[in-house]
Amino acid sequence: MTSQSPRIYLYKITFEEVPYYYYGVKKEDYYNQEYWGTPITHKWCWELYTPKKQILQFFDFTDEGWIEAQEIEKRLIRPFYNTDKWCLNENCGGKISLKVCKETGRKNYENKVGIFSFTKEELSENGKIGGKRGFETMYNNQIGIFSPSFDEKRSELGKKLVKYLRENKAGIYGLSFEELSEAGKVGYVNGLGKLSTEEKSENGRKGGKVSGKKHKKNKTGCLSLTPEERLKVVEKTNSQRWICTETGFITTSGPLTRYQKARGIDTSKRKRIA
């Protein structure tokens, strides 16, 4: 490299009359090539005011030097990008400013191009096709929700979410007991309360079937116990005695529930006596 070789440099443009500024990098075609940036959105500023260029740093005239110059440019722009009204940069490392995005979206809407060229029906149909293909890809490759480790990840994310909600008194943890009670009533009326007895029963069977398959596959719940352990649990349950505090009827837990329901008695009106 000679003293007259083309250069790679980082520069800053300022203006004599106003505090606007602009950062950029240049890879010269020949030594000391005249260059004042390539503004598009704010080209008016270069035409209206008097620009001054300050070279901040030179880099090796290599692919590595060009990459290094672009990285430093991004670090310089990022703190001011989309926040400082005097910064004229509308691009930072491939990211387009919000102003340019909004303007492009407005023009596309007015000219009915891109996504705005579709009707609602076409968008809906395209979404269905894309969704179906996405699920097929995930299923065939066992990724995403079909990944073997998805259940563990979902469980871990669920625990983190619950912890966050509890600590910040957000979501259901931000409601009082009275508010939760009222929300439950509204949810019942709008959801479960609209179902017939047959629909509730069918949903219960479906849910039980799915839950049973999952427990069987993962060896969880009662299926995690050996036959001997399950027998002990049954014996322990059957040895318990409960009394209906309204009628005085005594039996085990399950039969007492059926007894009270058959007579319209609140199943909470019970007490364990043995």
Q: Please report, for the chain, the start and end positions of each structural domain, with discontinuous segments joined by +.
A: 8-95, 186-224, 226-272
The pLDDT of residue 6 is 92
Task: For residue 96, name the pLDDT band (cuts at 50, 70, 90).
Answer: very low
Range from 12-26, 31-45, 100-114, 190-204 that averages highest in pLDDT: 12-26
Task: For residue 227, name the pLDDT band (cuts at 50, 70, 90).
Answer: confident
Which one is predicted more confidently, 262 or 134?
262
The mean pLDDT of 119-146, rounded to a whole number, is: 70
In degrees rounded to 5, what are phi and psi of residue 184?
-65, -40
Instruction: Calculate what percentage of the chain has a pLDDT beyond 70.
Output: 65
Task: For residue 114, name the pLDDT band (cuts at 50, 70, 90).
Answer: low
C-beta of residue 97 within 8 angstroms of C-beta of residue 104: no
The pLDDT of residue 252 is 87
The pLDDT of residue 79 is 85
The pLDDT of residue 137 is 74
The pLDDT of residue 193 is 58
Task: For residue 159, name the pLDDT band (cuts at 50, 70, 90).
Answer: confident
Rg of the chain over Cα atoms, rounded to whole angstroms, equals: 35
DSSP secondary structure of 65-124: HHHHHHHHHHHHHTTTTTT-TTB---EETTEEPHHHHHHHHHHHHHHT-GGGGS-HHHHH
The mean pLDDT of 16-39, rounded to a whole number, is: 90
Mean pLDDT, the chain, whole residue set: 78
Task: For residue 155, name the pLDDT band (cuts at 50, 70, 90).
Answer: confident
The model carries a pTM of 0.37
Q: Which two tokens stand for residue 70?
A: 């672009």
The pLDDT of residue 95 is 47
